Structure 1
């Protein structure tokens, strides 16, 4: 079968409609819950950061701990709409639809038009992608940029491809991992002509960091502590939780401070600039690896195996939890491992289809390097998601070439996917996301204390599934329950929660809420 030729803009627009429709339906469904209006973890930071930008503080949070492109884009939107979670979620939905159009455009040059459309629709309805398309997370933007870069490189428009790769890097520096694959994409001379366009956005961010006092931070400084979280002595390969650290003692000027950033400074030697803090964490990670290389090798193998599991391991948001508010996600994000089994179904035909072409080698190397960038840190659904459209493209293109025999082999791939995933049963429940806790806080914000109480209890039960030192917001949930009980006059129940909390987590109460044991209850959670 031969490719159908590059699709027209109109055809790409049609291919994006399923993704757009799914995203809009999911957004409407999720917006019926308080959780939708109170972003979680990274999304909360993006919301606060964009609000600062919209109010005129364009270089807020510089020197950057996290790459700034998405908050800048979101801040530009907020300048027109005001700080609106709904507007931000609509932006994510549109970006997801654009990514489906881009995938269709790429795929139409690799396979027949019908197969390309099927790949685009499959991606547009990918459960995790639809779930994140209604949040303020970076993934929809990053996927658009990395797909656009690949598209232009595949069409031999090297300068445009390099520009979009530079933009992808200032959205998520992990995009830099694909640079070695560029040698298969174009001749060195053409690549060299694209380098200035690649460097332009990176240099702009670097200049902002330098003017803010840290020329050592080129894009962002979060890489060091994230490397430690993913490979340190307590790493399990999929939990992205900050190391335990004392809370900051200073009053923050900006509206939000990330707990991982706070921990990175609290545990590092004092007086270091952000880039030096990041370097300190890198050195600490390497020292740990040198002391126990066998553990690190086993951990990397574990993370590599997790990349092939069908489970969508939560990070920030738990897509499986969101199904209680979105019937659409109940269909698109099934716990049995669909849609990851789609990739497994394509795998045998792709493997059996013969020697890869140079283009396929370029795509395979691009995909492999992106995967290495994930395995180097921690494997979750969120960080694995940008690989999915490229995996769909590669596997579908090769399976289509093998023809109907790919359909005959598909059950073998599905069986293999299920077998590979069996050792990871329960990994979703043990992941580092406690959605009932964040949901309880959202209900508190809207004055729904009865529902919040039930969710805090669910959060405590959810956190009990971990056997390590990570409390998974169990301590915070116990404290917030005590505060709720005290506010409503149930002092005996409040005292029991405080007693249990002090017994399980000595010193936690006074470190977070000074004076609470003397009756100064203060606000629960983030209220």
Structure 2
């Protein structure tokens, strides 16, 4: 048994060791140069990554969501066919691109460079929040992890919204923390405004606005009477100020309430149906291509209800279909929800239409053993648990609420790395606290606590790194094949598409794109074979029917061409290219009235369609309607200034005037 003097001596020794540890931490973390160095490292790592990937085809040629956002922004800039209707996807990121394009020109490199600056600022915000909640040492650890976290680096180089959303989330959290500390209404308004902006990119984040009612309820006991109500009014005012212009625009266009975008319903159904996997998966008769996906979803809804639907009604239809699944099979729905919960905390970086793991082949930097979700998540969960005794502190409770609300908002739909990313900086903060806690206990030689911590960490690490879903790179091979095809590298495109089929033999889209490549090479027989294989797997692919019609037209099989293109239009009435191609067939048959009708239908769906304007002008010229022909050729050139055929046709008009 220790004597009283020995106990005091032991306590003095522990205090001395703790003091020395704190001195080391203060020396290391108390210098501004350390934080500056980490921020510089954050910037440099991302510049290196962009320099490694800038010349690769994957980053020079955009596909799917990146292409959709880029085209949306360019249409707004030029005013040619700008998407004036209801937003299919969140409008924040296209507006962000418009701002960059207007100032710096339409440079993809400049977009990525500015996203690097935003991410560097987000790293600084992560440090500030960590320091405010815990201490400077935790802030330094957080900033260091943020600087070299793999998926944060990866998404900074993509024309997608996650980096911007993550930064806005951190700004919102910091504003709310400042509002609590300083009791200033302006910070509440700023916090609400940042949440509103983030919602314009990721609408599901608005669940936090509802959950914040819990905080306002509990805080009413501590604050002066009526103050929490005013805080809440200020917070929600910030949200309303940002969202109201979009919501008002939607109402004026449709006379229906639609908060932000019309994609929510179909996304909910993708995550909640009998065939749902927990991550993104295709729906039968619905395209995976942005824009076309909503068109197909709208047609199915209208065919089911036997009437025309507004965008908000389409969204509600698909929400209802998802809820019907939950009602009809509650046990499967509950099992699916639990699966999505485990996927949310799982190491797998599940792709949407961009794949972090696949893209490692283009960058030696990403192939380094960088911090990953499988490592950070166990630390973060332990950090959250260790911070729970401080939940009564309003500022800590805010982060607990946000993490819970955001997780719930995601698992109600489906899990992807991209949708999970906005919460990563906050998980890094709690992971850093867990690491700090462990280091302090090690300095104090509290080995039992350290042992328990390590044991729990290993259990959580093992669980987080279990393979729940078998994934492949088939979609990424298709995306790369599409890019090779666009750049004329047909043999490489064929290689990638065949690789996709090796991984997933029943992948109809791979057969479809392989048919396109064969057609571009002039191998029409092989193209027809691949198109028919695609239809054998998925009979309701309008693009395949359309392309078959084009080949049959070139082969002078006119009746078959008409049948295939009409089938494409039947499957997707709002398919401008199919209407255009049918117009071409009718034009060749000198059925000018039918051709005019089809070209006009194509232009009604897609006003910025220069080829349709040009062909319409040709028919008008053939019929002697010179003024109308001139007008159409001018419209074609206004959309596509270097359109040589339209310019030539306009010269012919001028020569006969």
From 181, 191, 197, the equivalent of 2:212 is 181
In the TM superposition, what are the counterparts of 1:321-332 in structure 2 within 5 Å? 321-332=358-369
Are positions 1:342 and 2:342 aligned together?
no
Picking from 88, 91, 97, the partner of 2:111 is 88
The question of whether the paired residues in 2 share the 8 Å contact of 1:7 and 1:108 is answered with: no
CA 67–339 in structure 1, closer or farther in 2 if over 3 Å, else same: closer
- 2:493 is aligned, of 445, 452, 459, to 452
Instruction: Give the whole-Å Cα distance in 1 for the aligned partners of 2:370 and 2:322.
Output: 35
Aligned to 2:347: 310
2: CA distance between counterparts of 1:190 and 1:495? 64
Q: What is the CA–CA distance in structure 1 between the aligned matches of 2:300 and 2:459, rounded to whole Å?
A: 43
- The unaligned stretches of length 5 or more in structure 1 are 248-255, 465-470
Contact conserved, 2:43 with 2:117, CA < 8 A, in 1?
A: yes
**By how many angstroms is 1:65 displaced?**
1.7
Q: 1:191 to 1:305 in 2, by over 3 A?
A: same
**What is aligned with 1:378?**
414
Q: Are the equivalent residues in 2 in contact too, given 1:363–1:394 (CA < 8 A)?
A: no
Indicate the SS of the match to 2:138.
helix
Residue correspondences, number: 501
Q: Quick one: which of 213, 225, 233 aligns to 1:192?
A: 233
Which of the residues 438, 445, 453 maps onto 2:479? 438
For the residue of structure 1 that corresponds to 2:362, the secondary structure is: coil
Following superposition, the deviation at residue 89 of structure 1 comes to 2.2
* In the alignment, structure 1 residue 355 sits paired with structure 2 residue 389: yes
Greater Rg, structure 1 or structure 2?
2
Assess, with a 3 A threshold, how the Cα gap between structure 1 residues 272 and 494 changes in structure 2: closer, same or farther.
closer
Q: 1:216 aligns to what?
A: 257
Residue 366, structure 1, aligned to residue 402, structure 2: yes
From 74, 77, 86, the equivalent of 1:63 is 86
- The TM-score normalised by the length of structure 1 is 0.86
More contact order relative to length (CA 8 Å, sep ≥ 6): 1
Compared with structure 1, are the counterparts of its residues 144 and 407 closer, same or farther at alpha carbon in structure 2 (3 Å cutoff)? farther
Within 5 Å, give how 1:72-471 maps onto structure 2. Answer: 72-156=95-179, 157-179=187-209, 180-181=211-212, 183-184=214-215, 187-245=228-286, 258-269=291-302, 270-332=307-369, 338-345=372-379, 347-348=381-382, 351-352=385-386, 355-357=389-391, 358=393, 359-397=395-433, 400-401=436-437, 403-404=440-441, 408-409=451-452, 411-421=454-464, 423-424=466-467, 427-429=470-472, 434-464=475-505
Structure 1 range deviating more: 54-63 or 75-84: 54-63
1:124 positional shift:
2.4
In structure 1, distance between residues paired with 2:401 and 2:203: 18
Q: Could you tell me the TM-score, scaled by structure 2's length?
A: 0.70
Rounded Cα–Cα distance in structure 1 between residues aligned with 2:525 and 2:300: 37
Gap change, CA 1:14 and 1:490, over 3 Å in 2: same
- Do the aligned partners of 2:374 and 2:464 also contact (CA within 8 Å) in 1? no
Higher deviation after alignment, 135-144 or 152-161: 152-161
Please state whether the residue corresponding to 1:330 is helix, strand or coil.
coil
1:409/1:136 CA distance change after superposition, 3 Å: farther
Q: Separation in 2 of the partners of 1:507 and 1:193?
A: 50
Structure 2 CA distance for partners of 1:66 and 1:348, relative to 1, 3 Å: closer
Structure with bigger helix share is 2
Structure 2 distance, partners of 1:204, 1:8, is 45
| Distance of 2:287 and 2:188 partners within structure 1 | 48
CA distance in 1, matches of 2:144, 2:242: 32
Deviation digits for residues 94-135 of structure 1, max 9, x if unmatched? Answer: 222221111111112123323211111212221111111100
Tell me by how many angstroms 1:416 deviates: 2.0
Pick closer, same or farther for the CA change 1:324–1:214 going to 2, 3 Å.
farther
Equivalent pair of 1:443/1:449 in contact (CA under 8 Å): yes
- Displacement of 1:515 after TM fit? 2.2
CA contact (8 A) 1:70 1:171 kept: yes
Residue in structure 1 matching 2:545, options 489, 511, 517: 511
